[in-house]
Amino acid sequence: MEQSALMSVMRRPLSPDARLEVPTTWEEYEYAQEHLDNEGNKLWYDSSSKIATVVAAPTPLHSDMVGELMVSLSKACDEVMRRGGISETIRDGLTHSTDTTKRSNTDDGLTIREWDGAISYAFNGDETLMVAFEVGVSQTSKSLRAAISWCVCALQCRLGIAMNIIEHDRGERPTVQYYTTSQEQSAALQQARDRLRLQSLQHPFGPLEWNGFTWFGKLRKVIIETFRNDDLNYPAGTILEPSHSFVIVRHGRFTGQDVPPNLREVVLGDCVPSHVLSDDEIVTTPLDFFRRSWFEAKIRGAILKTAIERVEDNRRIVMH
């Protein structure tokens, strides 16, 4: 097992947000988990397909947008309940979490993976998964849909929301730059931060360039999609088609002017079980959580943080 394909992949340095799928037996998966220090990488396993997925540490763009989507929907939910006179006790049942590992038993064995983010509702000691979130950064549409479909079908959450952020290729990658003192390194990094911050105001969707290199490419496309399991008999491995799909950025320009703030379907009943809400009418109240001003501000900040992180990873001090 020391020479397995999974062990070879796990030993490679991975770029942030990378996901690599490796055909693997359960025994090889267990061995890799036990013997390797993943250095921030995570390892999932799907018993039905016998595939292990090596998941690299996320970029700020990935982790920030997961949090922002989740918090924005939670706030919209709370605001609707406040306006509807829903008691604080009911409102307090709403919770959200990120990077939660879930083990699911299937006919083929144990599947281990985690969702990027989730909204759950706690009532009488029971917690129900209501909305799952997945964000991909230059991830294939198929793998992102498979991830959100697993949450909807295997975990039976009410709604899945997926955002795929696709960055143009950055071209030539710079070699690592070394400095003899921390002062010299700090001065170079501050110069980069100032330059990239200014460009971010001019080009919120990229590109961000400094010192002859592109540190974040122009956004080629951003897509947000919703998923539901209308047939509860769908097996856990089903890849669902989106119920709604919107392109909100194309070639560095915002194109989501006509996207409904509730993505044409998200309502209060998606976040709070209907049996908790006594008024049937309020269950179908739209949750208007997606707005252009919010999206542009949040993704611009996340893109800038990602570009700066890439520069920082590329600037090091010579060890004497």
What secondary structure does DSSP assign to 194-234, as a single string? HHHHHHHHH-TT--EEETTEEEEPPEEEEEEEEE--S-TT-
Distance (Å, rounded) from C-alpha 188 to C-alpha 280?
Answer: 59
Any domain includes 209:
no
For residues 33 and 79, state if they share a domain: no
Nearest to 68 by CA among 254, 233, 224, 255: 224
Any domain includes 267:
yes
Any domain includes 151:
yes
pLDDT digits (tens, 9 = 90+) for 164-223: 999 999 988 888 888 888 899 899 999 999 999 999 999 999 999 999 999 999 999 999
For residues 20 and 161, state if they share a domain: no
pLDDT digits (tens, 9 = 90+) for 71-103: 999 999 999 999 999 999 999 999 988 765 555
For residues 97 and 143, state if they share a domain: yes
Query: What is this structure's pTM?
Result: 0.85
For residues 156 and 16, state if they share a domain: no
Q: Which residue has the tokens 């950064």?
A: 137
Distance (Å, rounded) from C-alpha 255 to C-alpha 90?
Answer: 37
Domain that holds residue 20: 5-55
Residue 111: pLDDT band with limits 50, 70, 90: low
Helix (H, G, I), strand (E, B), or coil: what is residue 245? strand
For residues 281 and 155, state if they share a domain: yes
Residue 28: pLDDT band with limits 50, 70, 90: confident
For residues 226 and 120, state if they share a domain: yes
What's the domain count of the chain?
2
- Judge whether 292 and 257 are in contact, CB under 8 Å: yes
Distances (CA, A) of 263 to 173, 196, 287: 37, 32, 9
The neighbouring-strand residues paired with 86 are: none
Where is the domain boundary, 18, 34, 55? 55
Beta-sheet pairing, 126-137 with 159-167: parallel
Any domain includes 135:
yes
For residues 139 and 161, state if they share a domain: yes
Cα dihedral sign, 308-309-312-313: negative
Any domain includes 65:
yes
